[in-house]
Structure 1
Amino acid sequence: MLSTVLLLLSPLSWRVDIPLEFWFRQVLMAIFLISLFYVNMLWFVPNVLLKGKHAIYLLTIILGGVLFVGLLIYAENFLNLPELMHKAFNPDKPYVNKGRRISGDVFNIMIYLLTIGISTSVASVQKWQKDELLRRELDEQRINTELSYLKAQINPHFFFNTLNNIYALTNLDVKKAQEALLKLSRMMRYVLYENQKNETLLSREVGFINDYIELMKMRLTEKVTLNISVEEPKDDLVIAPMLLLPFLENSFKHGVSSQHPSEIMIKLEVMGSTVFFETKNHIFPAYSDSPEANENGIGLVNTQRRLSLLYPDKYRLKFGKDEDKQEYWVNLTINLE
C-alpha cells in the first residue's frame, strides 16, 4: 500500500535520530489504514456504496476521518510525541508548545482519503469484472439455448420436406424412391450427429449439400435446368452445420414447376477462409402463395438469426426478387476465420 510506504519508509530518509515513540505512532497508523483498506474494499463498498446507500457511505467516511485524526492526536499526546520530535530536529532549542500544526493534520487526512480512494476503486473494479463475467456467461447460455432451439426447428423442418419429396417420387419411380431413401439415411446420420455440434468441417457440409442436390434431382423433370457449381474446399475450414440448407430448400421448393420451364442456379466458392454462396431460381406465384410454401419462412428466419449469433460482423447476406425476370436470388459471404 502506498500510504504504508509513505508512513514507514519515508521517515528513514530523515537525517535525525527518530525517537521510538514516533515509530509506535507510525505502526499504529499503518495497522489502522491496512484494516481500513480491506474492510472498506471487502465489506463496506459492496454492502453499502454499491447497494445505493451513498449518503450513509459518505457520512461514515467523514466520521471515520474525524475518528482517525482524533486517535492520532490522542496517541501523539499520550506518547508526548510533539516534544520528542522537537528535540530530535532542534536539540539546541527549548520546546515551546504552540499547539498543533494544521499541515500535519491535512497530511494525515490526505493519507486517509488516499487509502479510502484506492480501496473503493479496487472494490468497484472487482465488482465490474464480476458483473461483466456474469453477463458474458448469461449471454453465452442465452445464445447456446437459442441456437439449440433453432437447430431443433431445422431437423423436423428438413426431414418433413424431404419425406414429402420422396413420397411424391414413389408415385413416379419406385427404384428412384429407394435410392432416395438410401441417400436420406446418409443425410440423416449427418443431421443427427453433426448437427449436435457447434461446428463441422466445411468439406462435410459440402458433402451434405451435394447429397441434398442429388436427392432433389431424382424428382425433377426435364423442364428444370440445374446450374450447379459447388467447389470442394481444400483447407480444413469449419462451419456451423446445416447453415446453407434453408437456401437450397427454397430454391427447389419455389423454383420448380410441373408446367413451366425453370432454372435453378447454385454456386459455392471458397477463397482462403471466405465462403461465397449464391442461389437463384424462378418464382412461380401460384405455388409460392400456397400455405405449404410459407413454411420456408421458418428456415430463412432461423438462418438469419444463426448467422447473427455465430458470425457477427463476419458475414454479409443479401436476397431479393427480380420482378422483371421473376427470379429470387440469395448472396451470402461468410468469413470462417
Structure 2
Amino acid sequence: MPLFTSRQAQTFLLHALTWMLLGVLLALQPTGRLPQPQFYWLQAALFFVSLGVFYLNVYWAVPQLLYGRRLLSYGVFVVVVVVAVTLPYRQVQQALENRYHSQYSTGNSPPPRAEFRWLGPPPGGASFPPGEPRRWSGRQGWVNPAVMLSTLLVLGLGTSVAAVQRGQQEAQIRQALEKEKLSTELSWLKAQINPHFFFNTLNNIYALTLLDGDQAREAIHRLSRMMRYVLYDTQNGTASLSQELLFVRDYIDLMQLRLTNNVRVEYETPDVVHEAAIAPMILLTFVENAFKHGISALAPSHIRIVVRQPTPHTLDVEVRNSVFADRPLALDENHGIGLANTRRRLTLLYPGRHTLTVTELTPEHEYYVHLTLSLQV
C-alpha cells in the first residue's frame, strides 16, 4: 500500500507551500528598531501563531461559518483574529525595543549600526545633544502594518486551501457515488441477462435437443460458462481480456441458434490475446444492439465484430450491423444499459483513455461503432 494517496500528497504539498510562503514573508519583513536575533525570535513566534490561525480558519471557521452561510460571524472572526494577533505583537515589539533602547539611553555611542536601525532624527531635524538621553523618534502606532497584512494573507490562504480541499472532497464523493451507481447498473444488467437471455436460450436448446444432441450439449456448456462469468468472475469489478472476449463469443454463438441463413455474423479476435484487466461486460451493449436492431428474418443482413490489440494494453473494437428503415438506429435505452450509460461507464472507468465513435448511418448503410481503450492504468 502506498504511503500517501494522490489526494493526500496534493494536500501535503499545498500545505507545505503555504508554510514556506508564510515563512519567507515573515522573514523578509523589516527589522525596524530591533536587533536581528530578537527580531527573528519574534518572527518565529509569529510564524507559529500564524499557523494556528491558518488551521483554525481552514478546519473550523470556513467550514462552520463561511460555508454555513454565517457571513457576519465569519467577518467578526476575521476582525477578532487580526486584532488578537497584531495588538499583542505590537506590545511585545515595543517592550523589546524599549528594553534594547534602555541599554543605550545614556552616553555618546549610538547602538551598533549592524544590529540597530534609527527611523530618523528627532522631530524638527534636531540632533541629540551630547550627554542627553537618546529617545525614539517618530510616533508608533497600535499595530504593525506588515503584521496586519501578513495575518490577512494567512486568512486568505486558509480560505483558498479550504476551498480547494472542499472541492477535492466533493469530487471524491461524486466519484464514489458514480461508481456505486455503475455497480448498481451492472448488477441490474446481470439480473436482466439472467432471466431474459437465459430462458430464451433454454428454449433454443430445448429445440436443439430434438434435432442435434451434440450441438445442444455444446450450447448448454456455453450458457453455463456465461452464467459463471456473469455471477462470479466479475465480482471484483474487473475481468481478464480473454474472459471478456470469450463471453462475447459465447453470447454470439448462443444468439445464432435462433438466426436464419439470411444473417451473416462475423467475429474476429486476435490470434494471441495479451492479457489485461478490463471492465466486465463493457462490450456487451454494442454487441447486444447489433443483434437487436441489425438482423432481419426475411431480408439479408449482417453483423461484423472485429477486435484488435495493436499493443498489449490497447484494445480496438469495431461493430457494424445492417440498418433497416423500420428499426431505430440509436441504442435502445430501455434494454441493456444503453449507450448513455456505457459512455458514462467509459468516462468514469477510463478517463482520458478511451475514444468512442458512433455513426448511425454510414455510406454503406451500416450502424458503426468504433471503440478504442487503453487498458494500462
Q: TM-score range by the shorter chain?
A: 0.7 to 0.9
Q: Does 1:165 align with 2:165?
A: no
Which of 284, 289, 296 does residue 335 from structure 2 map onto? Answer: 296
Q: Write the distance in 2 (CA, Å) between the matches of 1:245 and 1:317.
A: 14
Offset at 1:299? 3.4
Query: In the alignment, is the contact (CA less than 8 A) between 1:48 and 1:57 conserved in 2?
Result: no
Evaluate the alpha carbon distance shift between residue 161 and residue 101 of structure 1 in structure 2; reply closer, same or farther with a 3 A threshold: same
The residue that corresponds to 1:214 in the other structure is: 253
How far apart are the structure 2 equivalents of 1:161 and 1:267?
A: 26
Distance in structure 2 (CA, Å) of the matches to 1:116 and 1:230: 65
State the AA in 2 paired with 1:153.
W
Q: Is the alpha carbon distance of 1:112 and 1:239 closer, same or farther for their aligned partners in structure 2, counting shifts above 3 Å?
A: same
How many pairs are equivalent?
316
Structure 2 counterparts to residues 8-87 of structure 1, below 5 A:
11=35, 29=42, 33-34=46-47, 36-43=49-56, 46-48=59-61, 51-52=65-66, 53-54=74-75, 56-58=77-79, 60-62=81-83, 64-73=85-94, 76-77=97-98, 79=99, 81-86=100-105
Measure the CA separation in 2 of the matches of 1:278 and 1:242. 16
The structural deviation recorded for 1:173 is 2.0
Give the secondary structure class of the aligned counterpart of 1:241: coil
Q: Which of 247, 260, 274 is the equivalent residue of 2:314?
A: 274
Structure 2 residue 187 is the aligned partner of structure 1 residue 152: yes
What RMSD in Å do the two structures reach over aligned CA positions?
3.7
Superposition deviation, residue 237 in structure 1:
2.2
Q: CA deviation at 1:307?
A: 1.1
TM-score, normalised by the number of residues in structure 1: 0.76
Structure 1 residues 95 and 226 mapped into 2: Cα distance closer, same or farther (>3 Å)?
same
One-letter code aligned to 1:41 = F
Q: Secondary structure at the match of 1:270?
A: strand
Letter in 2 for 1:185: S
Task: Check conservation: 2:226, 2:250, Cα contact below 8 A.
Answer: yes
Give the one of 133, 136, 145 matched to 1:96.
133
The residue number in structure 1 matching 2:70 is: none
Long gaps (5+) in structure 1 = 14-22
Q: Give CA deviations for 1:175-204 in whole Å, capped at 9, x if unaligned.
A: 344432221111111111232222222122
CA distance in 2, matches of 1:177, 1:295: 31
**Aligned-partner residue type, residue 158 of structure 1:** I
Give the letter aligned to residue 84 of structure 1.
Q
Distance 1:316 1:128 in 2: 33
Do the aligned residues in 1 keep the contact of 2:205 with 2:219 (CA within 8 Å)?
no
SS in 1 for 2:103: helix
Q: Are 2:244 and 2:281, in contact at CA under 8 Å, matched by a contact in 1?
A: yes
Task: State whether residues 83 and 95 of structure 1, in contact with CA within 8 Å, keep that contact through their aligned partners in structure 2.
Answer: no
Q: Which residue of 2 aligns with 1:283?
A: 323
2:296 is the alignment partner of 1:257: yes
Distance (Å, rounded) in 2 between the aligned partners of 1:163 and 1:248:
17
Which shows bigger deviation, 51-60 or 215-224?
51-60
Report the alpha carbon displacement of residue 313 of structure 1 after superposing the two structures with TM. Answer: 2.5
SS of match in other structure, 1:276: strand
Shift of 1:320: 3.2
Instruction: Give the TM-score normalised by structure 2.
Output: 0.69
SS at match of 1:218: helix
61-70 or 113-122, which moves further after superposition? 113-122
